[in-house]
Homo-oligomer: A and B are copies of this chain.
Amino acid sequence: MDFFFEPNGVAVVGATPETDSVAHYLIVNLTLGYRGPIYPVNPKYDEILGLKCYSRVSEINGPLDLALILVPAPAVSQILEDCVTKGVRGAIIESGGFAEVGPEGKTLQDQCLAIARKGGLRIWGPNCMGLIDISKRYVFSFITTEAWKGMMNPGGVSLIVQSGLLSAGFITTLMGNRTLGLAKACSIGNKSDVEETELLEYLLNDQATRVIALYVESFLQGRRFFELSSSTSKPIVVLKGGKSSLGAEAAVSHTASLAGNDELIKGVLRQAGVHQADDFLEMVDIARTLEKNFLYQRPSGKKARIAVLSYSGAAGIVTADHLESNGLTLARFSPQTQKRLEELSPPWMPVKNPVDYYPAMEKHGPVLAFRHAIETLHDDPEVDGMIVHLFAGFGTWLLNTKEIMPDIKKPTKPILFWLLGPDQGREVTRMALEEEGWPTFSEIHRTVKVMASLFEHPRRLGADPPAYQWLSTKATSSPKIPHFSSQVTPLLKELYRQAEEQEISILDEHEAKKWLTALELNVVKEEIVKSYAATLRAANKMGFPLVLKGRVEGKVHKTEAGLVKLNLCNPGQLRSAYQEMLRLSPKPQFFMIQPMLKSDLELIAGIIRDPQFGPAVMLGLGGIRAEVYRDVVFRLPPLNETDVFEMASDLKGETLFKGYRGSKPVNMKSLSEWLIRLGWLAQAFEKIEEIDINPLLIVDGEPVAVDATIILKSDFHS
């Protein structure tokens, strides 16, 4: 991709000297930074900005790696042909009017792509703002010159934005406010060829890029994105657009991309250690804070412990509220910290976290008080991070940050500032803090959210997830491939062959449980019976209460079809249930009789195969409310115990795994084995589309599948 970022020769197709055209900015911007050969292309002109103008790309003499194209959509394919002829390596198509506007535009886009693929040309866009490299001052974009000139603020954050216009307004704002230090900004629009994952890989290897922030509406190479982001230590922040059904609806029409299953993407990004944002500036706030490269010392299995230093009790309280709702906790100070803080605080003012240090500030001046408290809290091993409330405005409150920030040259823990004050005075302090590497925020909720994001991925920080507080067993991180796989593979192949032979693509409970049994997973005991006499015999052997299920091949929604009778208490109830099912049409081929299990917890587990991310394993809370509370998590296989432990701890219903009202806790080792094997199955058998184990009951701590469905790809013969 170097020919996009460091091209030898750039053509500007559509360049114009007319200053009211956006294409004019494209050539102007290029000349202001890029030092290699520049070739304006436009049959109407001989010269633009003193540069020789060509009527077409193929006429250009000299080295030419990259074409920037900004002409009406229907004219683009011809230009690409020309680029191929000339041997151009990359084209950034900034024009709109392609897939984002509907089927006609999609056809144009496909034509362009076909030409490029055939000719070995790479395409960036269309419908995008191109790319900007701040440190090199390369602006390969039609962004208004006024929007960036004199405002570039170089830094380590690179952006990938699946959007055209927003990139411009957004980047301009960030540069204008000098909030973010930018390395490279890539606006990829419709991403017909170059997309987020390839760019991510490029930026992961880019020295200038220390943090990558992405706005995307889809992941075209989901699995690869996951693998790259899981295996890097460079922080990544993602804002995913089209999360809701409303947003997804809008997304489809916008860049013609399929927005994925939000819950799945959330789980995958979490598993990969990617930071997730909900809004544009929030994404930037997280990214610019990650760039500071604070050190974290989070204790294993605990929530991050935050110290709050304030000049106001009320602000401390509201901060504490937000800490709790973001999964952080208030630090409990060491006795030494307590003592040191009390040194400056008047005796009538009790010192506790949040620290209301106004009395100390009043007594000793804000500079000394802040300095002393920040130093003290930074030294405390019981403190993982610090939020400082600062008011900057006038008089003694026009604080010199060099004075208040003590000799924490390289802080060993994050220190974030919530800064209030009237615009003018506050801006001075804000800029001073930011320049010295201290992130500031104007709202408490954002300060806390960013702090939470820093500690979001305990595993990346070398600590265990909080779940380990309640789990008696410790997870192991190795066995991603179950040891038994060689034995069961032939069995499963045989089961698959049978389904294929009978052209069955939906395996109902009876069939699906054979697969699970082959995987050596626990399923509910059952007996197959075909007459009432046999049913009664089996019942007496098994003992009441019982469940009677009628099997109609391929019938998956048995409850709705009247094929499940729960909690049968005696032979009378059993007989009525049996007779009722016999009256159904179609009549059950046979019956299954099962014990009515007394479970402590009802889970749901399964796999899906996502077009972008491939197979994914799901775990959730089951029962009638599953759909209401949507308490499910996804992870990509292969899994290990740590992954499964983390899945459980990511559920809102986490606490139910610990056991409640005297019930046994879930055996997490067994549950892990379940999900590891399901994941292995999904990866080993590409023909499996979906597995649904619902419910997966927890009986005496152990998981037991009570019903299951497997969906196979139905193209057996293709």
Contact = CB atoms under 8 A, between A and B. Distances in A.
A428 to B, nearest CB: 13
Contacts of A443: 279-282
Interface string A44-57: 00000000000000
A529 interface: no
A653 interface: yes
Nearest to A245: B324
Interface string A540-581: 000011000000000000011000000101100100000000
Contacts of A242: 317, 320-321
A532 interface: no
Contact of A165 (B323, B358, B421): B358
A416 B512 CA distance: 54
A104 B422 contact: no
B249 A320 contact: yes
A643 B395 CA distance: 53
A655 B395 CA distance: 57
A497 interface: no
A175 B422 contact: yes
A529 to B, nearest CB: 19
A314 interface: yes
Interface in A15-67: 22
Given A311-B169, A652-B628, A653-B629, A241 B96 contact: no
A483 to B, nearest CB: 35
Interface stretch (A143-151, A225-233, A335-343): A143-151
Interface in A606-637: 621, 623-625, 627-629, 631
A350 B102 contact: yes
B570 A243 contact: no
B278 A445 contact: yes
A325 interface: yes
Interface string A254-279: 11000000000000000000000011
Interface stretch (A156-164, A379-387, A672-680): A156-164
Interface string A341-366: 00000001110111010110010000
A71 interface: no
A634 B497 CA distance: 58
Contact of A445 (B215, B282, B426, B631): B282
Nearest to A566: B598
Interface stretch (A1-9, A116-124, A656-664, A702-710): A656-664
B570 A348 contact: no
Contacts of A215: 314
Interface string A500-537: 00000000000000000000000000000000000000
Given A247-B320, A314-B217, A169 B544 contact: no
Nearest to A74: B348
Contact of A567 (B166, B545, B560, B631): B545
A660 B544 contact: no
A176 interface: yes
Given A628-B655, A652-B629, A170 B420 contact: yes
Contacts of A660: 624, 627
A155 interface: no
A34 B424 CA distance: 28
A182 to B, nearest CB: 14
A590 interface: no
B162 A314 contact: yes
A680 B545 CA distance: 42
Interface centre among A175, A244, A354, A662 (most CB of B within 10 A): A244
B621 A246 contact: no
A114 interface: no
Contacts of A318: 239, 241, 247, 279-280
A574 to B, nearest CB: 11
Contact of A169 (B100, B420, B423): B420
A349 B247 contact: no
A330 interface: yes
A544 B569 contact: yes
A320 B248 CA distance: 8
A77 interface: no
Interface centre among A242, A279, A350 (most CB of B within 10 A): A279
Interface string A116-155: 0000000000000000000000000000101100010000
A359 B281 CA distance: 25
A26 to B, nearest CB: 14
Contact of A356 (B170, B247, B254): B254
A444 interface: yes
Contacts of A22: 362
B166 A312 contact: yes
B348 A101 contact: yes
Interface in A322-336: 322-325, 329-330
A588 interface: no
Given A22-B362, A176-B421, A279-B322, 19 more contacts: A96-B359, A100-B313, A146-B393, A163-B313, A165-B314, A176-B393, A176-B422, A249-B330, A250-B330, A250-B352, A254-B356, A278-B321, A278-B322, A279-B443, A280-B315, A282-B445, A570-B570, A628-B652, A628-B653
27 contacts: A96-B349, A104-B348, A144-B397, A163-B315, A164-B312, A164-B358, A165-B312, A169-B315, A176-B393, A244-B323, A246-B321, A250-B353, A254-B314, A254-B317, A254-B356, A280-B315, A280-B444, A282-B443, A544-B573, A545-B545, A560-B662, A569-B569, A621-B625, A625-B629, A627-B660, A628-B652, A629-B629
